[in-house]
Structure 1
């Protein structure tokens, strides 16, 4: 099945057992002082167990004020070595190699995460995301940071790492010096390309002096920064040849800088798979050292095809490794359907970080919990009934069955997935269905009894004599008391997405949140005229900036009308009446789609009160949220039985 993916290849004098790489990804699993925790170590160890050829750790700041997140690992002082030596020792129990990525966050930081100091940069220009105006570095301060890179690299070698990756991409400090997008200096560290590259050249020299000639040095950089005025592939070709000349042992070709408008770094589901591979291919034509490619590659056969075409030597799968740390071993055994594929949602891996929290994963709720999870069979199997087949109910059923309980799952629909099924219908979201398909296959593997078209009652439950009932019935669409809302031209968004109803060609969407806007995009692609009505001052206010930007592009392209700051006060056969600060107006339309949120559907809970069996309520049946929360709640509940 695979021609190159599982063949060894060397970086410098370090032989990597296969071509699959876990790139550096911030997790926020360490202490604020950069110490490696058991959570952090077990997270990486799980990937080594899963068969990844090379694991590259998250950004290790070179001093205590160089970090972009609050709980990243660090090697800026000798006292941190011991904990990270434990990490490398644990990884080396398996065949994986592990490199340490070192960096300085530069302006992509803030006082709240870097010890209370003002961020630094080549020039005093704020980061688009974090927005702290940085202090422009003096030449003496530049020299001090260069020395710190060398010292951190030496500590990494003492910690047992197999190599170093210098992070010169993604808009961090080195990338800022490289790019006229962020570097407006006119001294020897700014201006022409050679001046802008001087900082990186001196860092590589300093690191090499500290680690020796036989210790591999990777350099990661953005081939295209994807912003106006940023570096692009034309300059990156030149940079690549210089990096080889300066002594780099391999190049890790990525893209992007921080910002909602940037499709690099955190490529969402709206971005094509493997979209930066041709950048790596161009670089590979110019150098004789190995090249790593990345960005939205999550299928092992896709990875192998890139290698076979000789476009890269290694394939980095960041979020793919979060979704399934065992992707390599499953792929090598030919068991591709058991892989939990990344769906590109960004909910747990990126948006948790931007909120200052630790990384999680919608499709892999065990992420970050490896250090405390016990999947061993229970000594006291119980008769479990799970009501509701959305992400919460499916995850609960899966883990309960894994642990040896007898599980019966009931759902009133003729399908599993709950609201997550319809969530896969809007543009660019089709991969969401892969998670539900994976869960269904897992239920089959563990002999869960699945009962569809089953509106189960208390009497039904009593007759089954369960020990525990898990209510995961989710939420029901909200239907507010609007005049005319019961008309024949009014539909719920979920029914529209699933194709349960036929609607007209001039559609008004009530609600400009994520569901309403995605439904609008779905219908706009069907050549319907769409208008969104939203009470707040703008649409998509609760969606993360990256996905909101990409969804808005679709709405703009298909000329979806928006009436914001407006409330629907009446629905008629030929349109709606809006009320806003200017008065009232009528918007014509032949169909109205309601996307006004969900309310918990938990009538059964009160009916089951006082029963002889335990009753647990999870997911949207307790409080409407999202699939990330639902899958975690189902997972956590099941672990406790």
Structure 2
């Protein structure tokens, strides 16, 4: 505890007595939907129990709960968070909240319910669109509709109280209806709900007062507030502080949760790796200096050291940590026990968000494949200790080796290169991707602590694998760069992005990046080149860059590229490469254009599986498996998920 005296000190917030200064803000709907089936709810609760046990997280504010909506018959709200019935009005709402709260109360953790209603679905104070990426004109609310919502907030708070929650948090930010009222940009009303700060805050204050009159002093009541708006026409930091002071002056709020970001911009409110850990904490410090109630700050609080520094600097009284706990459920216990080198680092890639909401896949954490599987409990190990040979020291091979060793197998890992890590070694060279280097260092340290037999510079042949005689063999040999069949691609001035990131090639000043990849790597290569001083143009065939990168992440990298002067050309495919020019073709009209001049061309066109070793042995060895990019090139999260699934299969097989 001496290493983190602020982090592990108790504090009182309203009715809540907290054992430490960590709150988990809303983030778990993808992990296990507390409002879904019974199985989904159990998965959600088990996830939080893991993080609250052993004097872990003191406060969970992750019940992000939508209000009932009021629309005319036949109107369908659209967008993230669109709802009509709302969670509060579900017939099992009270029972679910009781189930959640009772489980965490048993662990000494406080629980608050966040009250959310997204703006523009379809309601707004005025017919003004709040974001340049969303162009749905909203319905302008009447005063009668405002009064209806005030009553709905009060009734929803009563239901949360019946659910045995410790408090409620009014969501005033991130495109919420309340933020639209608070903003001088989206609120252009001329009645008592528009104009002055007091008028723009009237709707929120009426809701707070109605909630307080309903629950009395039995519950904590707080607000989550954008410290500034990301559109220049919105309110700035000084305005955000003034709003918080006004809310405090009403005597209705017990704390203010100050955050930065929008659901679409740069930064988003789920800031990805391009932002420094704790980057926006000084803004929260402005809030703390202006208020007497406790201040919570959430935003890239990536580890206990960052949390401690934010608290010690006086920027906040409590820190919100979500993704850090997704990456490591034992984070606080390890910090308290001085085992910080064992804390699994979050890389900030936001696949935990994008997989579910962009690709429609099940939840997964890129660095911790065990997250969301807490309800399943520990694997039942087989009685026979078997020898596992893992060929390939990239993300899939490293994770499989560690999981198998942790669960009783005798593991040897061979890697052809002189260093472990595979393509992670290239990713770590990209600007603001230090988290990936930290993850790789952590993973290697994990393997060494476990005693895995590691051998680098070992280019395995079929004969060597046969001679080793493992009970189980896993081939994770990765992938090599894909070279598209473009005339001129073999010219000397055409190079691969891996060679660029590894510093193995020299480039001219004017660089064209050919992107044939639906995720962030081509954009990251362009960022790397721009930061190195090159004049960069990126050509991609899709109608938007990196279509598999979600809205919470894409703004950061696109903002960096535009600030650096990178030119993006959409819907174009390079069909020929000349010495200083390229010929492109529009993927819809087939019209061709000549682009240039360029000194160098960089290929960022994905990968092709390197599965020759597996192909040579698959019909011969009885228990052989292929995983990671050797099966199909994808991302880090795919590699670790496959490693987890295979490890579980190996550990639980042949029980005796």
TM, length-normalised to structure 2: 0.88
Alignment of 1:351-390 (within 5 A): 352-355=356-359, 359-375=363-379, 377-390=381-394
Corresponding residue of 1:5? 7
Deviations 1:290-312 (A, max 9, x none): 11112111131222122222221
Corresponding residue of 1:100? 113
Deviation, structure 1 residue 457: 1.6
Count of residues in Structure 1 that have an aligned counterpart in Structure 2: 629
SS at match of 2:17: strand
Matched, 1:554 2:560: yes
CA–CA distance in structure 2, aligned partners of residues 281 and 305 of structure 1: 12
SS at match of 1:91: helix
CA 1:69–1:565 in 2, change beyond 3 Å: closer, same or farther? Answer: closer
Corresponding residue of 2:643? 634
SS at match of 2:470: coil
SS at match of 2:155: helix
CA 1:216–1:500 in 2, change beyond 3 Å: closer, same or farther? Answer: same
**Is the 8 Å Cα contact of residues 225 and 264 (structure 1) preserved in structure 2?**
no
Worse-superposed segment, 261-270 or 542-551: 542-551
Corresponding residue of 2:442? 438
Deviation, structure 1 residue 526: 2.1
Deviations 1:456-493 (A, max 9, x none): 12211111222222222222111234444344443221
Aligned partner of 1:226 among 216, 227, 230: 230
Corresponding residue of 1:116? none
Deviations 1:586-639 (A, max 9, x none): 745454332222112212222112224212222222222211222211112212
Deviation, structure 1 residue 506: 4.4
Deviation, structure 1 residue 177: 1.7
Deviation, structure 1 residue 385: 1.6
CA–CA distance in structure 1, aligned partners of residues 353 and 437 of structure 2: 19
CA–CA distance in structure 2, aligned partners of residues 629 and 141 of structure 1: 46
CA 1:468–1:169 in 2, change beyond 3 Å: closer, same or farther? Answer: same
CA–CA distance in structure 1, aligned partners of residues 451 and 86 of structure 2: 42
Deviation, structure 1 residue 563: 5.8
**Is the 8 Å Cα contact of residues 70 and 356 (structure 1) preserved in structure 2?**
no
SS at match of 2:375: coil
Is there any run of 5+ residues in structure 2 with no aligned partner, and where? 71-76, 651-656
Corresponding residue of 2:608? 599
SS at match of 2:473: strand
CA 1:106–1:384 in 2, change beyond 3 Å: closer, same or farther? Answer: same
Matched, 1:256 2:254: no
Deviations 1:249-276 (A, max 9, x none): 11111123322x2414121222233232
Deviations 1:545-600 (A, max 9, x none): 4544333343334444556655555556x435424466564745454332222112
Aligned partner of 1:395 among 389, 393, 399: 399
CA 1:56–1:608 in 2, change beyond 3 Å: closer, same or farther? Answer: same
CA 1:242–1:577 in 2, change beyond 3 Å: closer, same or farther? Answer: closer
Deviations 1:39-64 (A, max 9, x none): 11111112212611211123112327
SS at match of 1:285: helix
Is there any run of 5+ residues in structure 1 with no aligned partner, and where? 110-118
Matched, 1:274 2:278: yes
Alignment of 1:514-533 (within 5 A): 514-533=520-539
**Is the 8 Å Cα contact of residues 375 and 402 (structure 1) preserved in structure 2?**
no
Deviations 1:496-547 (A, max 9, x none): 2012334444444333653333223212322234444445566545544454
SS at match of 1:301: helix
CA–CA distance in structure 1, aligned partners of residues 599 and 625 of structure 2: 43
**Is the 8 Å Cα contact of residues 14 and 220 (structure 2) preserved in structure 1?**
yes
**Is the 8 Å Cα contact of residues 197 and 243 (structure 2) preserved in structure 1?**
no
TM, length-normalised to structure 1: 0.90
Corresponding residue of 1:140? 144
Alignment of 1:164-563 (within 5 A): 164-246=168-250, 247-259=252-264, 261-350=265-354, 352-355=356-359, 359-375=363-379, 377-511=381-515, 513=517, 514-535=520-541, 539-561=545-567
CA 1:355–1:70 in 2, change beyond 3 Å: closer, same or farther? Answer: farther
Deviations 1:287-344 (A, max 9, x none): 2211111211113122212222222111111222222222111111111111122222
CA–CA distance in structure 2, aligned partners of residues 530 and 330 of structure 1: 44
Deviation, structure 1 residue 143: 2.0
CA 1:64–1:417 in 2, change beyond 3 Å: closer, same or farther? Answer: farther
